[in-house]
Amino acid sequence: MQGYNLRRYYDKQPDITKEKMEVNKSIFRENDIRGTYPEQLNEFTIGEIGKAIAIKCKKENIDSISVGRDGRLSGESLLDAFCESLVNSGINVTNIGMVTSPMLYFEAKINDTKSGIIITGSHNPKNHNGLKMVINDKPVSGIEVLSLIEDIKDEIVKKGTLQTKDIKEEYLNEVTESVSISNPSNYKVVIDSGNGAAGCIAPELFKRVGCEVIELFSEVDGNFPNHHPDPSKLENLQDLIESVLNNNADLGLAFDGDGDRVGLITNTGENIFPDKYMMMLSESILSKESGAIVFDVKCSNHLDELIVRNNGMPVMAPTGHFHIKKTIKENNALLGGEMSGHIFFNDKWYGFDDGPYSGARIIEALSEYPDGKSISDIMNTYPKSFSTPELNIDVTDENKFQIIKDFIDQNNLEGEENTIDGLRVNYVNGWGLIRASNTSPKLVLRFEGNSIEDMHYIQNEFLSELARISPDIVINLT
Ligand SMILES: [Zn+2]
């Protein structure tokens, strides 16, 4: 059990006084709160956020909340300050210590008030931190918290209580009840936690479901000394690929810093994009029950087609946590997923994104093939297409949405247009997407074709239209 150490943060940082500080508004985002520590998000700021959360809780008649943190260096001190603020604002706090985001979401599903907040910098650089929040079983937007900060009155209220709780066993028990892998000892899996918070749970989870586990970088270390915990970037998967090949493993799994995303490497060392492994997950789920499957606008048309072929209902959603969770609820979907690797199981799990759980479900789906097919063989059965990874063009937060609006209004692209998030154009031989990033000053693009020529053709069409419509942009794809 993690001890709680109530430290006075002003004592630790005598040069910081309340008078000198004010809350930096740029950290409050649509999906969450994110900023650099200590410049933008520090013990003072998180204290003010705690007071705002207490206002939100009181509005919703909620008197208690669970909190946790990922493995970042600033996590413990921020969590102490956050607990102190919540308790002083009259909220009863359960501190579940260092956990993955999914473990906190799990706690917020099983506790009485269905409320929890994790202090996490996710996959961002090591000096970043932030908050992901669920109150009354609903995600809370950073923008809403900012509006509540303006209502803070600083009145003296009866203090709440503080207790600690270790949820590891309860979480592992439910995961092992939910996942059923036939012949699990047949599967040798390499687990790369990237020194992120997943290290505290993922190796144990895969041992409990019965697999043979080879661990990489399980020690939680906020300096991320081996590689950055972001499996969407190929450069962060090199150690995993090497280990899978050297150990003749059946697959490799990598998680991001707070364990809510998963990356997959096949037995032959190939990195599989999430929209492709979602095909295997969709087939597995739809073979047992029919229903909707949600995916974001960055996903392949082949996923849509496969869901239809398996008598499911494909639902495309805008990119972002908020939108995917909302669309899953609206359609009572069985599964949701994003190209970034956030996968939400809602068939026999709680509908939140959970990297290690998703990895275990990938092995479960693999084990359903009676002839012991390898994951590489299975991936090769899906339609071959040629796609770019997510491509970015640097712009500014101020002009990114206007650029997209101009593109939608003025483009001469010939194809079927979809504008749920930026512009996606479907052609007979592929598709293209251009949208504004929710989280950074960038345009996000992705292209797919049935042949490499088709893919390049669609990409060239989009880029020449972008150059014509917004000639001031420097088109440098990264
Ligand atoms: Zn994450």
Domain ranges of the chain: 9-167, 179-380, 386-469
CA of 53 relative to ligand 1 center, distance in Å = 22
The lowest-confidence range among 22-26, 299-303, 451-455 is 22-26
Residues 31, 139: contact at Cβ < 8 Å? yes
CA of 438 relative to ligand 1 center, distance in Å = 15
Helix (H) or strand (E) holding 327: helix 321-331
Q: Select which of 122, 282, 300, 470 is catalytic.
A: 122
Q: Tell me what pLDDT residue 440 has.
A: 85
- pLDDT range class, residue 99, cuts 50, 70, 90: very high
pLDDT in tens, 147-197: 999 889 878 899 999 999 999 999 999 999 999 999 999 999 999 999 999
List the structure tokens of 425. 């154009």
Calpha distance 117→132 (Å, rounded) = 6
Residues 428, 369: contact at Cβ < 8 Å? no
CA of 238 relative to ligand 1 center, distance in Å = 20
- pLDDT range class, residue 332, cuts 50, 70, 90: very high
pLDDT in tens, 238-270: 999 999 999 999 999 999 999 999 999 999 999
pLDDT in tens, 431-453: 999 999 987 899 999 999 999 99
Known catalytic membership, residue 122:
yes
pLDDT in tens, 101-125: 999 999 999 999 999 999 999 989 9
Helix (H) or strand (E) holding 286: helix 274-286
List the structure tokens of 322. 């908020």
Q: Tell me what pLDDT residue 2 has.
A: 35
Q: Tell me what pLDDT residue 21 has.
A: 62
CA of 470 relative to ligand 1 center, distance in Å = 33
Q: Which CATH number fits domain 179-380: 3.40.120.10, 3.30.565.10, 3.40.50.150, 3.30.70.890?
A: 3.40.120.10
**CA distances (Å), 268 to each of 185, 231, 233, 376, 378, in order?**
20, 17, 18, 7, 12
Q: Is the pLDDT of residue 237 over 80?
A: yes
Q: Please tell me whether residue 28 adopts helix, strand or coil conformation.
A: strand
Domains 179-380 and 386-469 share a fold: no
Q: Tell me what pLDDT residue 154 has.
A: 79
CB atoms inside a 10 Å sphere around CB 134:
22
Calpha distance 219→86 (Å, rounded) = 30
CA of 132 relative to ligand 1 center, distance in Å = 10
Q: What is the pTM of this model?
A: 0.92
The lowest-confidence range among 10-24, 246-260, 408-422 is 10-24
Query: Over pLDDT 70: what percentage of the chain?
Result: 96
- pLDDT range class, residue 13, cuts 50, 70, 90: very low
- pLDDT range class, residue 341, cuts 50, 70, 90: very high
Fold of 386-469: TATA-Binding Protein (3.30.310)
Fold of 9-167: Alpha-D-Glucose-1,6-Bisphosphate; Chain A, domain 3 (3.40.120)
